[in-house]
Copies of this chain bind each other. A is one copy, B any other.
Amino acid sequence: MGAQKRKSDCPINYALELFGDRWTLLIVRDMMLKGKHSYGEFLKSEEKIATNILADRLALLEEAEVVIKLPDPAHGSKYIYKLSQKGIDLLPVLVELIMWSAKYDPDSTVEKKFVTQVKKNRETLLKEISSRLKEELAA
């Protein structure tokens, strides 16, 4: 696995070949915006990902170096998953997806506060979140 033949070298296609499915970005979301870091926490998300899919996507994300997997020193047998810098850099993508859905999905659960924050001071907010993620990565 890993290097299948690419359909093209288009940057959109590059992203799609990693994230072009219904689950991968939800895992990234959980790590980036919900503070989740373990297999068990990912399983508990409301979308109810299956165990085999979760394991598969975590492996793909790790292989793509978006996610780093390490033994959890605190709990011994547990693993912990962290976003790499490459993963942290997906933050703007996630934010724009959220903004778009907030605008067009009538059932959206996005907090208005978040939307106004982004509109008012996008750069500052991005920096705040990503520096928090960077601290997690360094820890």
Contacts and interface: CB of A to CB of B under 8 A. Distances in A.
Interface of A: 6-17, 20-23, 25-26, 29, 45-48, 86, 89-90, 92-105, 107-110
Which of the listed residues A13, A26, A110 has the most CB atoms from chain B within 10 Å of its own CB?
A13
Contact of A93 (B8, B93, B108): B93
Contact of A22 (B11, B20, B103, B109): B20
Contact of A47 (B10, B98, B110): B10
A25 B20 contact: yes
B96 A9 contact: no
26 contacts: A6-B107, A7-B48, A8-B47, A9-B105, A10-B26, A10-B46, A11-B98, A11-B101, A11-B109, A12-B25, A12-B29, A12-B94, A12-B98, A14-B101, A15-B100, A16-B22, A20-B23, A89-B100, A89-B103, A90-B100, A92-B96, A92-B99, A92-B100, A93-B93, A95-B96, A96-B96
